[in-house]
Amino acid sequence: DVFLKDTAPHNTWRFYMEQTSDRVLAYAIELTGKERGKIKGNLYELDYAKHYERVKENELPADTVKLIYERGEREIPAGRFFNGNPDPQLGKFERFEALPDDPDALQSLLQEERRSREQLPPGDFKAHITALRDGLIETEARRIVREMKRHYEPNSPNKTHFMAELSPAFMRLAATKDTDRLFSMLPYKTLSFSKIEGRHGTYALIDKGENRD
């Protein structure tokens, strides 16, 4: 649905490029079957910036939404409000789908996407995960260094230290060994990680006399 204009997937795909500076990890998932009760498939890493441009240039109108119920379906214009209440004739609401105005054009786009993925060389999944974790730690270290430099005066509650909160997003993903690595990467002699009374989160603190350049 990322190619279908004004759908939630399409708007989300464009939002992170157009309105944030967040680093985006993007993947295409291809389901290939089921084995011993487990869903199997292929995972393809996407270049988000390039794929954003492709989506932007090839977006397709979808002016109809199909509402699917347990005993049938009905269609409404895109943009019209609907809720998930049961239908008196069709029963329990199950899901909805955006319908492209030109289904053949969408199928052509999806086939091109599939062909381009098939040309990619196989990757090492474990190595990829390791590289992602390394990048996560390095990005957080650079962010903390920038944050420490941003303040002209000590910003701890008692004004004895410079401090920067460890990113909540980082902390949600990080294991203890990751925070240990982060600690070792930061270039400060008086560094400590600590909670601050009356505040949420974990903070990196350095003495106010520490060189932050």
55 three-state secondary structure = helix
Question: What is the H or E stretch that residue 164 is in?
Answer: strand 161-165
Identify the residue whose tokens are 């084995």.
35
Instruction: Determine the pLDDT at residue 22.
Output: 82
Nearest-CA neighbor of 213 among 162, 145, 166?
145
Compute φ and ψ for 185, nearest 5 degrees: -85, -25
pTM of the entire predicted model? 0.72
Compute φ and ψ for 94, nearest 5 degrees: -110, -50
Sequence-distant contacts of 116-122: CB under 8 A, at least 24 apart: 117/28, 117/30, 117/42, 117/44, 120/44
CB–CB of 14/52 below 8 Å? Answer: yes
pLDDT tens across the length of the chain (213 residues):
899 999 999 999 999 999 998 889 999 999 999 998 999 999 999 999 999 999 999 999 999 999 999 999 999 999 899 998 999 999 999 999 999 999 999 999 999 999 999 888 888 999 999 999 999 999 999 999 999 999 999 999 999 999 999 999 999 999 999 999 999 999 999 999 999 998 999 999 999 999 998
Instruction: Determine the pLDDT at residue 59.
Output: 96
> Given strand 192-195, what is the order of strands in its sheet?
161-165, 202-207, 192-195
> How would you class 182 by CB atoms within 10 Å of its CB: exposed for 0-12, middle for 13-18, buried for 19 or more?
buried
CB–CB of 90/74 below 8 Å? Answer: yes
Instruction: Determine the pLDDT at residue 195.
Output: 95
CB–CB of 81/56 below 8 Å? Answer: no
